[in-house]
Amino acid sequence: MDGKITKVSIIVSKGSLEGIYPALIMANGARAEGMDANLFFTFFGLDAVNKKRIEHIKVATVGNPAMHIPTLIGGLPGMSGLATHMMSKTMDKLDIPPIPEFIEMIGDTGCGMYACKASVDMFNLTKDDFVEQVQDIITVGDFYDMAAGGQIIFT
| Domain range summary for the chain, segments of one domain joined by + | 7-59+98-154
The count of C-alpha atoms lying within 13 angstroms of the C-alpha of 126, restricted to the half-sphere facing its C-beta, is 1
Q: CA 33, 35, 39: angle at the middle one, nearest 5?
A: 115
**How many helices (DSSP H) and strands (DSSP E) are in the chain?**
6, 5
* Coil/strand/helix, residue 11: strand
The pLDDT value recorded for residue 18 is: 92
Please name which of 30, 51, 45, 52 lies closest in space to residue 115, comparing C-alpha atoms. Answer: 45
**Segments of the chain with pLDDT less than 70:** 1, 72
The pLDDT value recorded for residue 86 is: 84
The pLDDT value recorded for residue 103 is: 98
Name the CATH code of domain 7-59+98-154 (choices 2.60.40.60, 3.40.1260.10, 3.10.400.10, 1.10.357.10).
Answer: 3.40.1260.10
The pLDDT value recorded for residue 120 is: 98
The pLDDT value recorded for residue 118 is: 98
The pLDDT value recorded for residue 138 is: 98
* Coil/strand/helix, residue 43: helix
Q: 23, 12 in Cβ contact below 8 A? A: yes
